């Protein structure tokens, strides 16, 4: 009996030792956090003395390391949006063919033309859901700009071409496609929201207005943009069609992009102060200045991941705009300031 008790005691001690060792081993080798990858797109332009862009190079920064998507500035180029799905990186923009601007989509650096180049066109935003790629923008019909939605390269006109119009942003949730933009009513531009092609006016057309960004969360549709008060642009948020002013109307202010996470609504934009501009971030309507107003600056795009807020934009160094990425309000320069360079969109994976 004594030997049995001693054997059981020995087994118990060994079990405790193994358990402690296993716990210590796990503590020494915790599961590493998922790597965060930050994608920013922008453009570097050659500008003449009048301020006209002579050429531009579309750039993609991945964790600060830059890749050129176009041919080193031999043609005018624009870029406005980036979206990452799995391992694929989609970028929407445009490039001149020498006569007109062509709407384009880059997937992992390989370009596809969305328009044939016979008319002026642009691509303003890209969104990917499942296996479908949605791009918004505009294309001229020879006299007026037509708001467009491309799904997997196939174009749908959102407006009839009798008035100037454009589509600025797209968001897809479940089976519903939300597009925002603007259309001229003969007097002013009207901010618009299309849901599955059916249009809703966000403004009444008595003042100039435009819808620039859209985000859908649960059953709520958030749209940002601007509407003039007759003197200045007022930054606006429309939630399910109901407008809230983000600025007081004493200065020209525009909201440029929106991101909704949990119950928090993040919006970026800019406000003019004399000849300068202040890059701005609103969280639930409370504004924070990203720049101090001594230069021209703008916040163009926002992405929120975990507890971190990423904003892409630019700030002048007196001579040129410098492409910037703000993380939680702390700025990092993406360009060195020797060339005219802006950051226009950010996506975090």
**Whole-structure pTM value:** 0.90
Specify whether the CB–CB gap between 279 and 313 falls below 8 A: yes
Q: Does residue 19 carry a pLDDT above 80?
A: no
Contact call for residues 345 and 313 (beta carbons, < 8 A): no
What whole-number distance in Å separates Cα of residue 195 and Cα of residue 37? 32
Q: Could you tell me the end-to-end alpha-carbon distance of the chain, in angstroms, rounded to an integer?
A: 64
pLDDT at 9 over 70: no
Give residue 74's pLDDT. Answer: 63
Q: What is the mean pLDDT of the chain?
A: 91
Residue 332 CA to residue 88 CA, distance in Å, equals 25
What are the residues facing 58 on neighbouring strands?
43
| pLDDT over 60 (residue 133) | yes
Is the model's pLDDT at 94 over the cut of 60? Answer: yes
User: Tens digit of pLDDT for each residue in 225-235?
Assistant: 999 999 999 99
- Which residue, 134, 120, 235, is CA-closest to 179? 134
% the chain with pLDDT above 70: 87
Tokens of 15: 């079990």
- 224 — pLDDT class (breaks 50, 70, 90): very high
pLDDT at 71 (0 to 100): 78
Q: Environment class of residue 174 by beta-carbon count within 10 Å: exposed (0-12), middle (13-18) or buried (19+)?
A: exposed
Residue ranges of domains in the chain, CATH in brackets: 37-348 (2.120.10.30)
Number of separate helices (H) and strands (E) present in the chain: 1, 28
The answer to whether the beta carbons of residues 163 and 184 sit under 8 Å apart is yes
CB atoms within 10 A of CB 318: 8
Summarize the confidence of residues 160-184 as an average pLDDT.
98
Exposed, middle or buried, 9 (CB in 10 Å: 0-12/13-18/19+)? Answer: exposed
Confidence of residue 5 (pLDDT cuts 50, 70, 90): very low
Q: Give the pLDDT score at 181.
A: 98
**What is the band of 75 on the pLDDT scale with cuts at 50, 70, 90?**
confident
Q: 22-31, 194-203, 286-295, 337-346: which range is least confident on average?
A: 22-31
pLDDT recorded at residue 30: 55
| β pairing state of 38-47 and 53-62 | antiparallel
């Amino acid at each position: 009996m004594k030997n049995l008790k001693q054997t059981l005691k020995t087994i118990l001690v060994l079990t405790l030792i193994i358990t402690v060792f296993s716990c210590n081993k796990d503590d020494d080798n915790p599961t590493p956090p998922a790597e965060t990858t930050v994608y920013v797109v922008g453009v570097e332009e050659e500008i003449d003395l009048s301020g006209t862009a002579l050429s531009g190079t579309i750039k993609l920064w991945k964790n600060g390391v830059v890749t050129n998507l176009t041919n080193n500035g031999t043609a005018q180029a624009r870029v406005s949006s980036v979206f990452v799905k799995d391992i694929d990186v989609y970028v929407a923009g445009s490039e001149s063919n020498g006569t007109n601007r062509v709407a384009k989509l880059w997937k992992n650096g390989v370009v596809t033309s969305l328009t044939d180049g016979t008319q002026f066109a642009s691509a303003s935003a890209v969104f990917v859901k499942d296996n479908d790629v949605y791009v918004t923008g505009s294309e001229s019909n020879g006299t007026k700009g037509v708001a467009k939605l491309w799904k997997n390269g196939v174009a749908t006109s959102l407006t009839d071409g009798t008035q100037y119009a454009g589509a600025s942003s797209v968001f897809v949730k479940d089976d519903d496609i939300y597009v925002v933009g603007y259309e001229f009513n003969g007097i002013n531009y009207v901010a618009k929201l299309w849901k599955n092609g059916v249009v809703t006016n966000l403004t009444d057309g008595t003042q100039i207005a435009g819808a620039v960004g859209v985000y859908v969360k649960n059953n709520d549709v958030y749209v940002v943009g601007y509407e003039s008060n007759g003197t200045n642009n007022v930054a606006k948020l429309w939630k399910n069609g109901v407008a809230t002013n983000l600025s007081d109307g004493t200065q020209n202010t525009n909201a440029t992009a929106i991101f909704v996470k949990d119950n928090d609504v993040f919006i970026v934009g800019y406000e003019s102060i004399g000849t300068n501009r202040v890059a701005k971030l609103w969280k639930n309507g409370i504004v924070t200045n990203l720049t101090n107003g001594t230069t021209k600056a703008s916040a163009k795009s926002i992405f929120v991941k975990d507890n971190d807020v990423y904003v892409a934009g630019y700030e002048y160094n007196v001579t040129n705009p410098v492409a910037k990425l703000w993380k939680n309000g702390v700025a990092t320069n993406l360009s060195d300031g020797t060339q005219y360079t802006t950051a226009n969109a950010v996506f975090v994976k």
